[in-house]
Amino acid sequence: MDTGIKTRLKRDDQVTVIAGKDKGKSGRVLRVDRKTSKVLVEGVNIVKKAMRKKRENDRGGIIEIEAPIHISNVMLLTKSGKPSRIGYRVENGVKTRIAKKTGEQL
How do residues 74-89 score in pLDDT, each as one tens digit?
999 999 889 999 999 9
DSSP percent split of the chain into helix, strand, coil, nearest 5: 5, 45, 50
pLDDT at 2: 60
User: The whole model's pTM is what?
Assistant: 0.81
**Cα Rg of the chain, angstroms:** 17
pLDDT at 29: 96
Local structure of 71: helix, strand or coil = helix
Tell me the pLDDT tens digit for each residue of 12-59: 999 999 999 999 999 999 999 999 999 999 999 999 999 888 887 777
Per-residue pLDDT at 95 exceeds 80 = yes
Residue type for position 84: S
CB contact set of 54 (below 8 Å; sequence gap of 6+): none
Q: How far apart are CA 104 and CA 92, in angstroms?
A: 17
Tell me the pLDDT band of 73, cut-offs 50, 70 and 90: very high
Instruction: Give the domains, in start order, of the chain with CATH numbers.
Output: 14-79 (2.30.30.30)
Local structure of 23: helix, strand or coil = coil
